[in-house]
Amino acid sequence: MTWSGPRSTIATGLVWAAIAIGPGTAAAQTPVAGHYPPGQSGIRGAASPDAGWSITNFNRFFTNLEAKDAAGNTTRPLEELRYANITMLTWVTPWKVLGLQYGALAGVPFATGNLNPAPTEAHSTAFGLGDVLLTPVSLYARQPAWDYQFQLTWWTSSGRFSPGSPDNRGSGFEALVYSAGGTWYPGGDRADWSASAIARLEQNFEQADSGIQPGSDLVIDWGVGKVVPAKRPLELGVSGFATWQLSEQQGGAAGTDTTPYRYFGAGPEGSYSPWDHWTFRVRAHWEFLAKNAVSGNNLWLILNYAR
């Protein structure tokens, strides 16, 4: 997906920081979460790129601070810091499909643990390959005051996984992610205000060797920004996300609380282009109103090179 800015959705930056949902409570495990990390898109997340290619590197630092039960109460502290890095390659062609510009994307993640860990996977520190994602269909369009996009992403289960292992770097299951979003430029001026939102519906398939069928989930990323007059392009604003599990998990160990999870996040964001073709982006999100998930904070440092 254009993870620009399942948890799948993709596309600009050097270093990444976000949050993962996952460890369970002291008395029960929380549901298995999807792949896409909420909040990845941010300001202008649904903007239509020009034809060409780009490389984006995200460095992501995220904290798992407190496990929350289905009522939103803290069940135990976790105080865990994790790191992830993902390199995204985006290709936008001049070709049209159904009147929309066609593109494709691929992302290769590495992390210090499964980004959506179970309780037994907490505090793992080894760095390893995660679940690779491929977006064979990414369609873009522009109107005078709007950009919009549609994407289909296949999230693989390439990362190491064994049920309950502290060394997991992947989720153990594949998923399809369906995305649709738009960016509005009030007055049609793309060099001023923007408001963007992308909805990502993740259809999760059965997890290997566990008998768990994760529920589907929905993530909405959003961002509002304004270009600031400066010698080089500078944009400041706020961004955030909302995520809900839409269907209950089936199967799994006794004691698993399958009540659908939810959580939200918001915070400041800024980007700066010191040279032609290069953009640096910083995004911080604080999570709140978490239920049946782990609550924490996120820092994203992103570098993008586009031609």
The per-residue pLDDT for range 163-188, each reduced to its tens digit, is 877 778 888 999 999 999 999 999 99
Q: How far apart are CA 138 and CA 90, in angstroms?
A: 10
| Among 148, 155, 157, residue whose Cα is nearest residue 134 | 155
Instruction: Output the six-digit token pair for 263.
Output: 């959580």
Q: Where does the pLDDT of residue 303 fall: very low under 50, low under 70, confident under 90, or very high at 90 and above?
A: very high
Instruction: Give the pLDDT confidence score for residue 154 in this predicted structure.
Output: 97
Query: How high is the pLDDT of residue 14?
Result: 28
Question: Where are the extended beta strands (E) located within the chain?
Answer: 52-68, 74-97, 100-111, 128-129, 133-143, 146-155, 175-184, 193-204, 217-227, 234-245, 262-272, 278-291, 294-295, 297-306
pLDDT given at position 117:
56
- Residue 131 tokens read as 């679940």
Each residue of 29-75: pLDDT tens digit? 778 888 998 999 999 999 999 999 999 999 989 887 788 888 888 88
Per-residue pLDDT band at 89 (split at 50, 70, 90): very high
Residue 124: the pLDDT is: 61
pLDDT at position 177: 97
Cβ–Cβ contacts within 10 Å for residue 1, how many?
31
* Lowest pLDDT segment from 116-125, 143-152, 252-261: 116-125
Cβ neighbors of 230 (< 8 A, separation 6 or more) are none
| pLDDT band at 197; cut points 50, 70, 90 | very high
In the chain, what are the domain boundaries?
Answer: 52-306
Residue 250 pLDDT > 90: no
Confidence at 9, pLDDT banded by 50, 70, 90: very low
DSSP code for 119? G
What is the per-residue pLDDT across 262-277, written as a single tens digit (0 to 9) for each? 999 999 999 999 999 9
pTM for this one? 0.85
Cα–Cα distance, 292 to 179 (Å, whole number): 25
Distance CA 156, CA 153 (A): 9
- Measured in Å, how far apart are the chain's first and last C-alpha atoms? 19
Fill in the amino acid letter for 307: R
Instruction: Report the percentage of the chain scoring pLDDT > 90.
Output: 59
287-303 average pLDDT score: 91
Burial of 277 (0-12, 13-18, 19+ CB in 10 A): exposed
The CATH homologous superfamily of the domain defined by 52-306: monomeric porin ompg (2.40.160.40)
